[in-house]
Amino acid sequence: MGRLAVVTGGTRGIGAAISKALKAAGYQVAANYAGNDEAAQKFKAETGIPVYKWDVGDYDACAAGIKQIEADLGPVEVLVNNAGITRDGMFHKMTKDQWSAVIRTNLDSLFNMTHQVWEGMRNRSFGRVIVISSVNGQKGQMGQVNYSAAKAGDLGFIKALAQEGAIKNITVNAICPGYIGTEMVQAIDENVLKTRILPQIPVGRLGTPEEIGRCVVFLAADDAGFITGSTISANGGQNLV
């Protein structure tokens, strides 16, 4: 069997595409999910990828989840921190709950998850940690102060942790997707999509989840060891960094 990869939020949208891409590339994959049992079981039936349910915002739940995966499948060598939520609203109307929920799931989860696998990666002198950030963490977005702050925090996380992991052959990188044609984005009013979003994207279309999956497979590879602390901006030219 190939190296074991864990993908958080790995049964729907971009996460599902990442899980499938890693499996197709020869990895053993375990997909975490938070709450949609029906979608998770459908994903498992269609892909054969085992699924594990826990809240990535809860440190103890992450510890228990990784312990179970390692008991079932072996040591985690690739971690994809993909899980995320939005609770959008203009800042003057944003509640503390909206702020805290997004920071907890989108940023605290990086510590909660990576902390569980880091020592094992150090001991084995190999690891790949990949964080799915966002174009809005690079450029900011009105109505998403909480989300943009969390996703910008992701980038600080990978730059600092990459320096700690380098001596142990552990790479830590981020991918910043732009507008990707997931269920969430496709639910946007068609007129808004055509008149306000697509004109911002030089390639003239939404990205696909599969394109993000291919980025992850590239960064997860054994021969990607010279790339660390880096960000792949997969946004169709929307934000040039």
Strand partners, 5: 29, 78
User: Per the residue annotation, which of 27, 33, 147, 179 is the catalytic one?
Assistant: 147
Torsion (CA) 194, 200, 206, 207 in degrees, nearest 10: 180
Tell me which residue of 71, 76, 74 sits closest to 8, measured CA to CA: 76
Q: Which of 109, 83, 107 is nearest to 19 (CA)?
A: 83
Task: Establish whether 27 is a catalytic residue.
Answer: no
Instruction: Give the amino acid at 99.
Output: W
Cα end-to-end span (Å), the chain: 37
DSSP secondary-structure letter at 166?
A: G
Please identify every residue annotated as catalytic: 147
